[in-house]
Amino acid sequence: MSDGEVLGLLVTTRDEPGVLYRISEAIFKHGANVTYIAGGAHREQTAELQLEVAGARDETRLVAELQSLEGITKVSRVPTFQRIYGKRVIVIGGGAQVGMVAQGAVSEADRHNIRGERISVDTIPLVGEDQLAQAVRAVARLHRARALVLAGALMGGDITNAVREIRDAGIIVVCTSMAGSVPDAADVVVSDPVEAGVMAVMLIADTASFSIEHVRGRRF
């Protein structure tokens, strides 16, 4: 499904029970499907919902019907998050190495975004097996996440299990050269943290002639 087939909506509502049900029912009646929903700002007795809807037979009529629902105060068309922020590279691990990976990823993303691509980079420095494993598993639930870079000196145990799980969910996993079992579970191992960030972006960019199938299982 292309981004052009997805309708982005910002819905301002009264903050009360039943509003989300009425919105979902209206979308269903129009033969459409909610592909993404997120809560936004809350101000006194109002709330905002960001919706992305696919398959609406008549977008204008859908917007008008949503606007007429009880509890809805405003409905605006907005660009989807895919159009604005695009694919996401997530960088997790030790602070110093995370910063170096981010430097490479941001520089490479800038090169592709100038040419019409949309790639964003998110980072969080974390330590501890449990925290890292939870963060890795959460990547598969993040909207638009396409690649994860793990940067650190030692990772294994449940982090390795989490890496295998998100790879099965379609997330590309790059890691820096480190001790532990994570390098054996990752798609690609890259010694230089800056280059790891560059490679993660290249692996998901439509404007790069580079495929994970060319490098999976290799160490650089």
What pLDDT is stored for residue 202 in this prediction? 92
What pLDDT is stored for residue 137 in this prediction? 96
**3-81: CATH, from 3.30.360.10, 3.30.70.260, 3.30.70.100, 3.40.50.300:** 3.30.70.260
| Residue ranges of the chain that CATH labels 3.40.50.10550 | 85-215
Distance CA 113, CA 170 (A): 23
- Burial readout 116-132 (b: 16 or more C-beta within 10 A, e: otherwise): ebbbbbebeebeebeeb
Contacts (Cβ under 8 Å, ≥6 apart) of 150: 92, 93, 132, 136, 159, 163, 173, 174, 175, 176, 178, 182, 186
What pLDDT is stored for residue 3 in this prediction? 43
Q: Which residues of the chain have pLDDT under 50?
A: 1-4
Distance CA 149, CA 171 (A): 10
Cβ atoms of 91 and 105 within 8 Å: the answer is yes
Distance CA 176, CA 99 (A): 13
Contacts (Cβ under 8 Å, ≥6 apart) of 54: 1, 5, 6, 7, 32, 33, 35
**Residue listed under structure tokens 């409905």:** 75
In what side-by-side order are the strands of the sheet with 172-176?
Answer: 119-125, 87-93, 145-151, 172-176, 188-190
The whole-model pTM stands at 0.82
- Looking at domain 85-215, its CATH superfamily turns out to be Hypothetical protein af1403; domain 2 (3.40.50.10550)
| Residue ranges of the chain that CATH labels 3.30.70.260 | 3-81
Per DSSP, 4 falls in state: G
What pLDDT is stored for residue 219 in this prediction? 78
Task: Give tens-digit pLDDT for 145-166.
Answer: 999 999 999 999 999 999 999 9
- For the chain, the maximum distance between any two Cα atoms, rounded to a whole number of angstroms, is 59
What pLDDT is stored for residue 139 in this prediction? 96
